[in-house]
């Protein structure tokens, strides 16, 4: 196999991992955001909502303890996706 073949494989796996990571993040946000109800009538809710909005929902892993274990899957798949995509782009320039 040539460098270009490895680049295509790396790009495809990177894109798949990134897509799975995004879907997993949406699943965690939709399934674990119910635990924010404990802040419903609290003045902290404004700051929590702003943190979740501006961090692209990554603050959910801090405020919702049940989501922390699921965050490991997001971290691993996101990292593998970025590394695979970066490796594919590097191999493409090398070919």
Kindly tell me if the per-residue pLDDT of 81 is higher than 90: yes
Residue with tokens 């399934």: 31
3-state class (DSSP) for residue 94:
helix
pLDDT (tens digit, 9 = 90+) per residue, 38-60? 888 888 888 888 988 888 888 88
The model's pTM is: 0.82
Give me the chain's average pLDDT, please. Answer: 91
Residue 20 in contact with residue 84, Cβ under 8 Å?
no
Q: Tell me the domain boundaries of the chain.
A: 3-88
């Amino acid at each position: 196999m040539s460098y270009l073949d490895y680049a295509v494989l790396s790009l495809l796996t990177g894109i798949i991992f990134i897509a799975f990571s995004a879907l997993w993040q949406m699943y965690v946000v939709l399934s674990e955001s119910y635990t924010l109800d404990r802040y419903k009538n609290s003045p902290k809710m404004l700051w929590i909502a702003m943190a979740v909005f501006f961090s692209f929902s990554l603050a959910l892993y801090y405020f919702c303890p049940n989501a922390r274990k699921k965050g490991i899957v997001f971290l691993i798949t996101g990292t593998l996706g970025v590394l695979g995509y970066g490796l594919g782009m590097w191999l493409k320039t090398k070919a």
